[in-house]
Amino acid sequence: MQGDEVAMEFPDDNDGAELRKVAAAGADMSSPMVIEFSIEAADERSARNIAELVEAQGYDPSISDNEGRGSWSVYCARSMLATYEGVVAVQAELTALVAAHGGHCDGWATFGNEGLSSE
């Protein structure tokens, strides 16, 4: 199976492990999927500023209060190929973009694209 072959090419780190899980779940790794990158922010004002910044860069942001943790999260969705180089580059780009607001990218997630049509 091509997805298994691709999955074996991922590096042995957290991002590689997550990409292997996405491939093992049946996602077509050669087709785009929505990937949501999480940025941790210290407070609501920072989260709102970060959301504006990432939206201007083509991400679809949403903000969430991390109740009990004293922080906020900005989720930055983007349709893209789930490649190792891609997810690592986006995390670095987002961290650099939001550093002035005290934010940093702290991971990503996707539901993959299994069962999605290209209509």
Mean pLDDT, rounded, for 6-10: 62
- Helix H or strand E encompassing 10: none
Which percentage of the chain shows pLDDT scores above 70? 88
- Helix H or strand E encompassing 118: none
Mean pLDDT, rounded, for 58-65: 96
Q: Are 54 and 72 in contact (CB under 8 A)?
A: no
Mean pLDDT, rounded, for 57-66: 95
Mean pLDDT, rounded, for 92-113: 93
pTM of the model: 0.85
**Spatial CA neighbour of 64 closest among 106, 95, 24:** 106
DSSP string across 23-79: HHTT--TTS-EEEEEEEEESSHHHHHHHHHHHHHTT-EEEEEEETTTTEEEEEEEEE
**HSE, side-chain direction, 13 A CA sphere, residue 55:** 11
Task: Provide CATH code, domain 30-110.
Answer: 3.30.70.260
For the chain, what are the domain ranges? Answer: 30-110
Mean pLDDT, rounded, for 25-34: 94
Given this model, what pLDDT does residue 116 score? 54
Mean pLDDT, rounded, for 99-117: 85
Query: What is the average pLDDT value for the chain, to the nearest integer?
Result: 89
Mean pLDDT, rounded, for 31-36: 96
Asked whether the predicted pLDDT for residue 36 surpasses 60, the reply is: yes
